């Protein structure tokens, strides 16, 4: 199995985490929502697999390129 980092593509705050560790997801499933300048930006699964670790909490500030989650596939 390989591991993939799910990264933030924008500066903002983690508005909502929609999955939990251990969840199986498909490619392009919505994993979380980042809020930036009053816009809600979806964070999508880059691959199908399992959410291994969630690295952020709701309300936390995130910056572009920061890992949000780790997935195995």
What class is the 3-72 domain?
mainly beta
Give residue 3's Cα distance to chain centre: 14
66 pLDDT higher than 90: yes
Q: Convert the pLDDT of each residue in 4-56 to its tens digit.
A: 999 999 999 999 999 999 999 999 999 999 999 999 999 999 999 999 999 99
**Which residue ranges make up each domain of the chain?**
3-72
Q: Which two tokens stand for residue 28?
A: 């392009």
Q: Which two tokens stand for residue 56?
A: 């952020």
Closest by alpha carbon to 6, among 51, 38, 37?
51
């Amino acid at each position: 199995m390989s591991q993939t980092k799910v990264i933030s593509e924008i500066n903002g705050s983690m508005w909502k985490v929609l999955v939990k560790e251990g969840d199986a997801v498909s490619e392009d499933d919505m994993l979380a929502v980042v809020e930036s300048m009053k816009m809600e930006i979806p964070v999508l699964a880059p691959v199908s697999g399992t959410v291994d670790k969630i690295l952020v909490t709701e309300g936390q500030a995130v910056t572009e390129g920061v890992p949000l989650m780790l997935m195995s596939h």
